[in-house]
Structure 1
Amino acid sequence: MGMGSASPTIQNDSKRATFSDIKSLIKGPVLIANVLPVFSGFWLALYFSGSLITEQWPLLILIMLGSTLVMAGALVINNWYDVDIDEIMARTQNRPTVTGKISLKIVLWIGIVLSLAGFILLWFTTWEATLYAFIGWFTYVVLYTMWTKRKYTLNTVIGSISGAVSPLIGWAAIESAFHIVPIMLFAILFIFQMPHTFAIAIKKYEEYKAADVAMLPVVHGFSITKRQIVIYIACLLPLPFYLIQLGAFFITVATILNVGWLIIALRGFFSKDDQKWAHWIFLYSVNYITIIFVLAVVVTLPAFQ
């Protein structure tokens, strides 16, 4: 369905692609957001294993470059497959797959080449890091993009799994990720993505509805979506306490952030402007996850001095 319905205009690749087109193709902001937890996972694995970053520069370069390429490849293939949806949704109508600045055939090859290059680089790290990267790639490209996105509201859960493996990739480059810290970072990332994505779905409700994408607000309405947002944010509350090894300051800040987000979520039941409320949930979510993963690095900095 997705990749076969492009119009002749989209097939036209005579126009020169600009930097903004490339950034749009690899979904720049999404890519950056996924790369930060890879570094945090790597850094914390160094901290807990007693390794020095000065001894691990080659490994850091490999893991960061490899994971970035794999994620970029997955995002590009998503753009290739979703061109028919992107034509309908206002926020995606400037993507080069829609404007025709890059042909769909070339887009697909870019996605494949980026993915393969990333996996080759990751193979020089550890098999476990490569495995987590593959799980993320396969979940996003096949299970999310090609299977659940158009059919089931479960698509958000599936998509969240692919986004949550990033700290495991970073950690596993140093040692096995069967450790409470990367597992909890995975859990935080997974749960965070649910209210984050639901907020976007409320904000872009009309677009998702027009494109017939099975997002929760489109299928079941705003009321259930608001309840789900509150439930998932509430599930974040105990998680910082499993990260006691990161210290009291980390737990305190993370808990304050969780409580603040929960309060904003609860206000949704009394909100008269759902779009404005959803925008606040979205903004909070972006800052929340950035602070959590930057803070996890900052609180362990003294150990490396």
Structure 2
Amino acid sequence: MSRQIITSSNINQTDFVSNKQSGKTLAADLKSLFKFPVLIANAVPIFAGFWLAVYFTGASFAANAGTFLLTIIGSTLVMAGALVINNWYDVDIDTVMSRTKSRPTVTGTIPLRAVLWIGITASAVGFILMMFTTAAAVQYTFVGWFVYVVPYTMWSKRRYTLNTVIGSISGAVTPLIGWAALAPVSHIVPIILALIIFIWQMPHTFAIAIRKYDEYKAADVKMLPVVHGLEITKRQMAIYIACLLPLPFYLFSLGTAFVVIATVLNVAYLALAISGLFVKDDMKWARKMFLVSVNYLMIIFVMAIVVTLPWGG
């Protein structure tokens, strides 16, 4: 009798652990499918764009909280939809690359048909929510979605090294989406922030492409280092970062502290890029460039928010 009780207890415990593990697996699969870190990286500039529009127009954030929620949730769903469709379309590439072999599209834990419908549904719901903001915000959101899904994912990624430039347009519209949800994008601040993201994405993506050179080559993805070599890629990275140098000086409306800190970041970023022209260990240097680039963009946008808080200026 006691053994039967113990056995039943063990079965229940096993089921509990199995269910718990399944929950963890599903959560991990969804996080991978929606490329959660990428979503966060795009949501911050959207929030910054909206916040800065509130600041410069003298509007009340509390009075526009509903519009903000529609904007942040709607645009994030649209971006999520685009990323999921990208996963669905790129399953053959992801199967070859070791860094993407754990995605549910590759492992088969989520059927491809379901993945496609998740992407379409998320995009559709996101656009419906965005329609309750402004026409301009919807337009910028559509530009980001369309460029990422069609010209980038379905056309240029497998054919041309220009795919990085094309894909950068999708990221660049994020602060414009946030700003346009509240006010016309005729102010210098959102335009410069969009330019920063657009330019930044080239050295950021090239750093990833250098680190994952063998994988991109095996998958026949037309990344710059794979097609034209590491030396040309490193020189272009330095040139793009140099193009960031003058941009903070158009943002004096955010305060001298912002301009000084952003300029110091740009100089340090450029110095690291130039050092890459002389290093022997390209992989180690590319890893540093990747880490710096991720932190660079987050610091820029968080700082833009902080300096415009009531106690930040």
* TM-score with structure 1 setting the length: 0.94
5 Å matches for 1:132-171? 132-171=140-179
Once the two structures are TM-superposed, the CA of residue 224 in structure 1 deviates from its matched residue by: 0.4
From 125, 133, 145, give the equivalent of 1:117.
125
- Please state if 1:108 is matched with 2:116: yes
Once the two structures are TM-superposed, the CA of residue 47 in structure 1 deviates from its matched residue by: 0.3
Provide the C-alpha distance between the structure 2 equivalents of 1:35 and 1:53, rounded to a whole number of angstroms: 17
Q: Which residue of 1 aligns with 2:246?
A: 238
| Alignment root-mean-square deviation, CA | 1.2
5 Å matches for 1:246-285? 246-285=254-293
Once the two structures are TM-superposed, the CA of residue 304 in structure 1 deviates from its matched residue by: 9.3
Q: Which residue of 2 aligns with 1:6?
A: none
Once the two structures are TM-superposed, the CA of residue 303 in structure 1 deviates from its matched residue by: 7.0
Aligned-partner residue type, residue 64 of structure 2: Q
Provide the C-alpha distance between the structure 1 equivalents of 2:62 and 2:26, rounded to a whole number of angstroms: 37
* TM-score with structure 2 setting the length: 0.91
Q: Which residue of 1 aligns with 2:92?
A: 84
Runs of 4 or more off by more than 2 Å in structure 1?
none
Provide the C-alpha distance between the structure 1 equivalents of 2:221 and 2:148, rounded to a whole number of angstroms: 16
CA deviation profile, 1:239-280 (whole Å, cap 9, x unmatched): 000011001000000000000000000000110100000001
Provide the C-alpha distance between the structure 1 equivalents of 2:80 and 2:46, rounded to a whole number of angstroms: 14
CA deviation profile, 1:143-170 (whole Å, cap 9, x unmatched): 1000000000000000101111000000
From 126, 129, 137, give the equivalent of 1:129.
137
Provide the C-alpha distance between the structure 2 equivalents of 1:146 and 1:176, rounded to a whole number of angstroms: 31
Once the two structures are TM-superposed, the CA of residue 87 in structure 1 deviates from its matched residue by: 0.2
Instruction: List gaps (5 residues or longer) in structure 1.
Output: 1-14
From 40, 65, 70, give the equivalent of 2:73.
65
Once the two structures are TM-superposed, the CA of residue 52 in structure 1 deviates from its matched residue by: 1.2
Provide the C-alpha distance between the structure 1 equivalents of 2:169 and 2:239, rounded to a whole number of angstroms: 18
Aligned-partner residue type, residue 224 of structure 2: L
Equivalent position SS for 2:251: helix
Provide the C-alpha distance between the structure 1 equivalents of 2:90 and 2:83, rounded to a whole number of angstroms: 10
Provide the C-alpha distance between the structure 1 equivalents of 2:67 and 2:28, rounded to a whole number of angstroms: 30
Contact 1:47 1:303 in 2 (8 A): no
Q: Choose 1 or 2 for highest CA Rg.
A: 2
5 Å matches for 1:206-245? 206-245=214-253
Percent identity for Structure 1 against Structure 2: 66
Aligned-partner residue type, residue 125 of structure 1: T
Provide the C-alpha distance between the structure 1 equivalents of 2:69 and 2:194, rounded to a whole number of angstroms: 22
Number of positions where the alignment pairs a residue of Structure 1 with one of Structure 2: 291
Equivalent position SS for 1:125: coil
